[in-house]
Amino acid sequence: MPRRTLRLWLVALIAMATLVMFGAANAQTDEGTLRIGSKRFTESYILAEVLAQAAAPHMRSAPAVRQGLGNTAIVYEALRSGGIDLYAEYTGTIALEILKSDKPMTREAMNAALAPLGFGIAVPFGFNDGYALAMRAADADRLGIRSLSDLARHAELKLGLSNEFIGRADGWKGLASAYGLPQSPTGLDHGLAYDAIGAKQVDVIDIYTTDAKIDSLGLKVLQDDRSYFPRYDAVVLYRLDVPTRFPKAWAGIESLAGRIDERAMIAMNARAELQGAAFDTIARDFLAGGKAETGERGFMAKLFG
């Protein structure tokens, strides 16, 4: 082969090799867009923003936050179909609604069951948002009631429980049997139950343990001393390829593990629902370590005036 032809071939080969190397490097850095979903309630909106803002500093482009997709079935389908990459979910919901288990599962067992589906759970935020009963703290202190076992000794107290809780197999019927509770509850809409206990029309209501009004109404959450209620620990449910596709962003998300306890989540929910702060403002203040009491009027304020 003539030298000129050989040189041309060498130049072409070097050029091709350079293009291949550049393309490979570009593929490694072109991470795409991380898509984060949420359900249609305050806490889920806030957690989606917290996740997005924890990931954003480690990405070339901001994550896409798809807020208010719907209930568990809808958001999980978005995850399954690739419409989103991750969202905040609860261990009890994953076990009961996604994995169809009628028994509590450890996180290890959940991951073993989710892996063949291409999913995993990680980053336990640090709080449980499950069922509990609560009463006015002043009354609880006066009567010496700290736990559900204590409540069983006060048949005179009026219980106003949500219709959903009364009707659930793992709700009132099972709870009353487990603790020997003698009361006959009145069925109420969950939202109206807070008004009823605030007006002293009832003495005890069922709550979710991070509800916004727990502190504002001065309620005491009664200890589930026989561990009747399953735990609903908040975690990240994600597609297994996310840590590989977005390694730096995933490291940012992992830094959230253990950072949000019940008190912090109650406070953030209260800022949204009672003060009208925007979800992104709440997330930003939390990540900055701030506790600003007011913020830009957001979705909840616009909705409820």
Ordered DSSP codes for 128-167: B--EEEEEEHHHHHHHT--BHHHHTT-TTSPEEEEHHHHH
Both tokens assigned to 298: 């957001």
Closest of 200, 205, 201 to residue 185, by C-alpha: 205
Distance from C-alpha of 165 to C-alpha of 134, rounded to nearest angstrom: 14
pLDDT of residue 240: 98
Position 24 scores a pLDDT of 37
Domains of the chain: 35-128+232-304 (3.40.190.10), 131-221 (3.40.190.120)
Residues of the chain with pLDDT under 70: 1-31, 290-305
Backbone angles phi, psi at 189, to 5 degrees: -70, 140
Residue 28 in tokens: 């490694």
User: Cα(first)–Cα(last) distance of the chain, in Å?
Assistant: 83
Which element (helix H / strand E) includes 234?
strand 234-239
What the block records as the tokens of 128 is 């449980």
pLDDT tens column, 216-268: 999 999 999 999 999 999 999 999 999 999 999 999 999 999 999 999 999 99
Q: Cα(185)–Cα(133) distance, rounded to whole angstroms?
A: 12
The pLDDT value given to residue 41: 94
What integer pLDDT is reported at residue 9 of this predicted model?
A: 44
Task: Look up residue 162 and give its two tokens.
Answer: 């949500």
Provide the pLDDT for residue 170.
77
What is the pLDDT, as a whole number, of residue 25? 36
**Span 51-77, pLDDT tens digits:** 999 999 999 999 999 999 999 999 999
Kindly report the pTM of this predicted structure: 0.81
* pLDDT for 169: 72
Contact 148, 207 (CB under 8 A): no
Angle at CA of residue 34, ends 32 and 38, nearest 5°:
155
Q: Please state the separation of Cα 146 from the chain's center in Å.
A: 27
What count of other Cβ atoms lies within 10 Å of the Cβ of residue 264? 16
**Predicted local confidence at residue 215, as pLDDT:** 93
Chain position carrying tokens 């009963």:
133
